[in-house]
Amino acid sequence: MSDVANPPMNLDISNAEYQKNSKTLFGFWVYIMTDCVLFASLFATYAVLHHNTFGGPSAQNLFSLPNVLAETLILLTSSFTCGLGILSARARHKNKVIFWFFVTFVLGIAFLFLELSEFRHLVITGNSWRRSGFLSAFYTLVGTHGLHISVGLLWLVVLFGKIFSGGLTRNNLRQLTLFSIFWHFLDIIWIFIFTIVYLMGAVGK
Amino acid sequence: MSKEQDVIVAEHELSEGNLKSYITGFLLSIALTLSAYFMVVRRSFTADRIIAVIVALALIQFLVQMFFFLHLGKETKPRWKLFVVVFMIMIVLILVFGSIWIMNNLNYRMSPEQINTYLNNQGGGF
């Protein structure tokens, strides 16, 4: 265990196992990239429709920026704690892994709560997805991201169960790695939602 | 044997990040997010200039997170991951700018002035 940072290379690593894992990681990476294309089509839809307010409110006078900044910082921090969880997993500190991924989970819930309360506020004030083309595109884009976040949280719950029952097995470590890629990716998508939907909306273009 | 082997496999499974790279990425991302936010809130420039700057900040943050959180640059030689990323970026650019271009063009051609001009040129036909 002392050589974690610098593994001895002459030890017999099961090559087949390594190949299988790197293929899994690569396959997941390709999935993530196709998901980027899905989000790109939703961004394109939003870009085309965001002027079509049909007499309703535009992005300039609809969103509360401090709320959005809080969401952004929460998601960014959860991406960071997810990375710390991966580092602890590499060092095989089971308790630290559970701690950091639990922080990630709580931050994810907080993000989802803020997003849903924003949606709720908008719908109550009469600006649901039925109001205009702009709002349909807005809910589809931001809602798809929120759906991904929810799926990620569900995945994390399953992983907690597996880690509690089985410990940090190879399989669970691989799953954690895949989850971390997914979570970092969702934060990257959020950068663009934050910039294009909220900030550019506030500027009024 | 099995425990040591597990560690090595884990080493391969988990990507190459270390604490320093995560902290660097986190601090840079916070700085980029806050500067974009305050640029919009303060309104110290014209709208076009603000848009240009916040888009640039978003692209920088994209690169920062790709490198420091997803460790894109640390891949060894056949760089398949990078290859897929470049391909994804190409598709995304075609999709987004192609859609905006086509739809703007369509809006322009369907505008009432355009239709009137067309009708006049036809000698008031139809």
Contact B12 A191 (CB under 8 A): no
ipTM (interface pTM): 0.88
Contact B9 A14 (CB under 8 A): yes
Which of A40, A69, A170 lies at the smallest CB-CB distance from B92?
A40
B109 pLDDT band, cuts 50/70/90, is: confident
For chain B, the straight-line distance linking the first and the last C-alpha, in angstroms and rounded, comes to 87
Does the domain at A29-50+60-203 match CATH 1.20.120.80? Answer given as yes
Instruction: Give me the pLDDT at residue A8, please.
Output: 45
Instruction: Determine whether A84 is exposed, middle or buried from the number of CB atoms within 10 Å of its CB (0-12, 13-18, 19+).
Output: buried
Which of A13, A48, A177 lies at the smallest CB-CB distance from B100?
A48
Contact B99 A47 (CB under 8 A): yes
**CA–CA dist A109, A105 (Å, integer):** 6
Contact status, residue B62 vs residue B25, Cβ threshold 8 Å: no
Segments of B12-121 assigned E as strands: none
Which of B7, B58, B81 lies at the smallest CB-CB distance from A191?
B58
Q: For A178, which residue in chain B has the nearest alpha carbon?
A: B14
Contact status, residue A198 vs residue B41, Cβ threshold 8 Å: no
Instruction: Give me the pLDDT at residue B59, please.
Output: 97
pTM of the model: 0.86
Return the domain boundaries, chain B.
1-74, 77-126
Q: What tens-digit pLDDT sequence spans chain A (205 residues)?
A: 444 554 444 344 567 777 777 889 899 999 999 999 999 999 999 999 998 888 888 888 899 999 999 999 999 999 999 999 999 998 889 999 999 999 999 999 999 999 999 999 999 999 999 999 999 999 999 999 999 999 999 999 999 999 999 988 888 999 999 999 999 999 999 999 999 999 999 998 6
Residue to test with chain A: of B6, B37, B72, most A Cβ within 10 A: B37
Contact A44 B80 (CB under 8 A): no
Which of B13, B47, B80 lies at the smallest CB-CB distance from A21?
B13
B9 pLDDT band, cuts 50/70/90, is: very low
**CA–CA dist A198, A98 (Å, integer):** 34
Q: Which residue has the tokens 């063009």?
A: B105
**CA–CA dist B124, B8 (Å, integer):** 80
Grouping H, G, I as helix, E, B as strand and the rest as coil, residue A197 is helix
Measure in Å the smallest separation between the Cα of B123 and chain A Cα atoms.
33
B43 pLDDT band, cuts 50/70/90, is: confident
Nearest to A177 by CA among A86, A105, A99: A86
Model pLDDT for residues B61-100, shown as the tens digit of each residue: 999 999 999 988 777 778 889 999 999 999 999 999 999 9
- pLDDT reading at B117 higher than 90: no
Measure in Å the smallest separation between the Cα of B120 and chain A Cα atoms.
29
> What does the mean pLDDT of chain A come to?
90
Contact B95 A185 (CB under 8 A): no
CB within 8 Å of B62: residues ≥ 6 apart? A188, A191, A192
